[in-house]
């Protein structure tokens, strides 16, 4: 199941014997052991015919519904805020509501997409899931956020990139899906990170050169030696902590991690396509969602990717889209090619 905190990080925390982190270790063990039922998406798109033309009914405004699990591991929880309701006294409720709105605005403003299903569907989320639950996830129906243990992790709704990351897992799924294992799973995680970063940049009005390119900034407490869960700018540098260890993400195929853990390294090896996108976006400059994001969005939603797509397949798709959208020999095509060469996914023909 797509989650923001990788299992290898929680396992490190669960195994710590540090007395001052006893509560966090217990919370990590409980988080790892918690049962979560995955619910496959079933698309519900309203279609009509007007004068012989097929019309898709979609609204350019979000339909957010926030529920409260009240520290139980039961979904959906109690409905606490919708579009016509006043601001809540609960900070996590408001953070989830605002974060979903910001993510909706990126997808609508930049790509003309209305909601997860591209048809104005409800954006459902649950906060306060579990007791000191150390994660956030997409379960095939809704986005779910824990409150963290308070010693290592804070509330997961504090990070806009986390909220957008989970919503994007839904977009990937509605667009045909990528199998959540191996390289296709790493692409799934990378796309969630890419559009999580773009949502933060869009909300702040930042150009690529100004952005932090961090995922999960703000969800670690001050006790952790680290800034975020992941970095697209420099995979492998987001944290280096005595308890959690060092961020294990590679930034190049020469360092690709072969493992059966983490669904075949979906959170680890996502650093490679993450870095590729960063290279493309910063080479093109300006707002990252305008050109680099446009290419990645079309690759994610175009329907041409097989569920088992690997990095090479995805790279070829982005090159084909860049060529189609901007023309062979364009700055955009050159940037996409250089980005994938830069992380070792495709070869540099000139040096072959």
pLDDT at 352 over 50: no
Both tokens assigned to 329: 């020999």
Q: What percent of the chain has pLDDT over 90?
A: 81
Tens digits of per-residue pLDDT, 168-182?
999 999 999 999 999
Reported as type and span, the H/E element at residue 173 is helix 160-174
Per-residue model confidence (pLDDT) at position 220: 96
Both tokens assigned to 171: 């977009």
Indicate the range of 27-41, 132-146, 253-267 predicted with least confidence.
Answer: 27-41
In angstroms, the CA 61 to CA 100 distance is 11
CA angle in degrees (0–180, nearest 5) for 342-267-11: 140
CA angle in degrees (0–180, nearest 5) for 102-104-109: 95
> What's the DSSP call for residue 87?
P
Cβ-Cβ contacts under 8 Å for 31 (sequence gap 6 or more): 10, 130, 133, 134, 135, 146
Asked whether the beta carbons of 115 and 104 are under 8 A apart, the reply is yes
Find where tokens 């956030």 sit: 136
pLDDT at 55 over 90: no
Catalytic residue among 165, 169, 202, 267: 267
Tens digits of per-residue pLDDT, 264-318?
999 999 999 999 999 999 999 999 999 999 999 999 999 999 999 999 999 999 9
pLDDT at 33 over 90: no
Catalytic residue among 166, 173, 189, 317: 166
Q: Is the peptide bond before 76 cis (omega within 30 degrees of 0)?
A: yes
Helix, strand, coil percentages (3-state) for the chain, rounded to 5, are 45, 10, 45
Q: What percent of the chain has pLDDT over 70?
A: 92
Per-residue model confidence (pLDDT) at position 259: 96
Residue 1: pLDDT band by 50, 70, 90 thresholds? low
Nearest to 96, CA basis, from 72, 122, 67, 61: 67
In angstroms, the CA 174 to CA 116 distance is 7
Asked whether the beta carbons of 240 and 249 are under 8 A apart, the reply is no
Span 9-37, mean pLDDT?
79
Give the bridge partners for 126, in sequence order: 67, 144
CA dihedral 68, 71, 76, 81 (to 10 degrees): 0
**Catalytic site includes residue 166:** yes
Asked whether the beta carbons of 229 and 161 are under 8 A apart, the reply is no
Q: What is the pTM (predicted TM-score) of this model? A: 0.88
Please tell us whether the domain made up of 7-351 is placed in CATH 1.10.390.10: yes
Indicate the range of 14-28, 102-116, 228-242 predicted with least confidence.
Answer: 14-28
């Amino acid at each position: 199941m797509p989650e923001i905190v990788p299992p290898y990080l929680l396992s490190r925390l669960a195994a710590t014997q540090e007395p001052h982190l006893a509560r966090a270790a217990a919370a990590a063990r409980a988080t790892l052991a918690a049962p979560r039922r995955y619910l496959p998406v079933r698309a519900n798109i309203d279609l009509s015919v007007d004068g012989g033309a097929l019309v898709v009914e979609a609204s350019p405004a979000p339909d957010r519904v926030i529920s409260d699990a009240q520290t139980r591991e039961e979904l959906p929880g109690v409905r606490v805020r919708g579009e016509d309701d006043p601001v809540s006294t609960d900070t996590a409720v408001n953070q989830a509501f605002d974060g979903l709105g910001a993510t909706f605005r990126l997808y609508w403003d930049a790509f003309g997409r209305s909601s997860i299903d591209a048809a104005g569907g409800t954006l459902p989320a649950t906060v306060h899931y579990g007791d000191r639950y150390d994660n956030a996830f997409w379960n095939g129906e809704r986005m779910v956020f824990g409150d963290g243990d308070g010693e290592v992790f804070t509330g997961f709704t504090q990070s806009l990139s986390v909220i957008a990351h989970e919503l994007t897992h839904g977009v990937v799924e509605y667009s045909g899906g990528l199998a959540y294992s191996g390289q296709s799973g790493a692409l799934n995680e990378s796309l969630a990170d890419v559009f999580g970063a773009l949502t933060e940049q869009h909300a702040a009005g930042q150009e690529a050169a100004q952005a932090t390119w961090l995922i999960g900034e703000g969800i670690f407490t001050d006790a952790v030696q680290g800034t975020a869960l992941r970095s697209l700018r420099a995979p492998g540098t987001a944290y280096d902590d005595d308890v959690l260890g060092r961020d294990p993400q590679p930034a190049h195929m020469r360092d690709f991690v072969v493992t059966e853990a983490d669904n075949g390294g979906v959170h680890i090896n996502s650093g490679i396509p993450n870095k590729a996108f960063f290279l493309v976006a910063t080479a093109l400059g300006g707002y990252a969602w305008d050109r680099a994001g446009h290419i990645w969005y079309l690759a994610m939603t175009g329907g041409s990717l097989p569920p088992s797509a690997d990095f090479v397949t995805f790279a070829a798709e982005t090159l084909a889209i860049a060529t189609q959208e901007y023309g062979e020999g364009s700055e955009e095509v050159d940037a996409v090619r250089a980005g994938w060469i830069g992380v070792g996914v495709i070869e540099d023909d000139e040096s072959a």
